[in-house]
Amino acid sequence: MTFHTEYLWFNTKARREFVRITDEVAAIVATSGIQEGFALVSAMHITAAVYVNDWEDGLIRDFQDWLEKLAPAGLDYRHHRTGEDNGDAHLKRTIMGHQVMLPVTKGRLDLGPWEQVFYAEFDGRRRKRVVVKVMGE
């Protein structure tokens, strides 16, 4: 089995931002030379997520609204007693998930017809990274 690891770096302009990363992940898969296997895509920060879904502006806004109802910004979270102000970001990340495992077939990402890969940032405006680890034959 062969392994190939690369990192994607983000420094979002907004505190909360959703970024489509399908093309970047696909390029890493192509560079890896792996024909059959998997690509693990994982946010390496506890206030960011990686997920797979449709690339449609209304749906992305629906996710943002839904997450805000489940973990509203501005509440007095216990986490804030540490001097932080991002308790909601930690909860939103947990809801969305921190990583995905994607199939690689014939040297390419093997996604469904509408599936796209996204990086979701909930406490941005500083440098963060995502690891992409491609493994297989």
How high is the pLDDT of residue 93? 98
Q: Locate tokens 């489509």: which residue?
A: 20
How high is the pLDDT of residue 57? 96
Residue 88 near residue 73, CB atoms below 8 Å: yes
How high is the pLDDT of residue 113? 96
CATH number of the domain bearing residue 66: 2.60.120.460
Count of domains forming the chain: 1
CB neighbours of residue 88 within 10 Å: 23
How high is the pLDDT of residue 77? 96
How high is the pLDDT of residue 52? 98
Mean pLDDT of 69-79: 96
- From CA 18, how far away is CA 58, in angstroms rounded? 12
Tell me the per-residue pLDDT of 7-40, one tens digit each, with 9 for 90 and over.
999 999 999 999 999 999 999 999 999 999 999 9
DSSP 57: H
How high is the pLDDT of residue 88? 98
What rounded mean pLDDT belongs to the chain? Answer: 97
Residue 126 binned pLDDT confidence (cut-offs 50, 70, 90): very high
How high is the pLDDT of residue 42? 98
Q: Which domain holds residue 28?
A: 2-136
CB neighbours of 88 closer than 8 A, spacing ≥ 6? 71, 72, 73, 74, 75, 77, 122
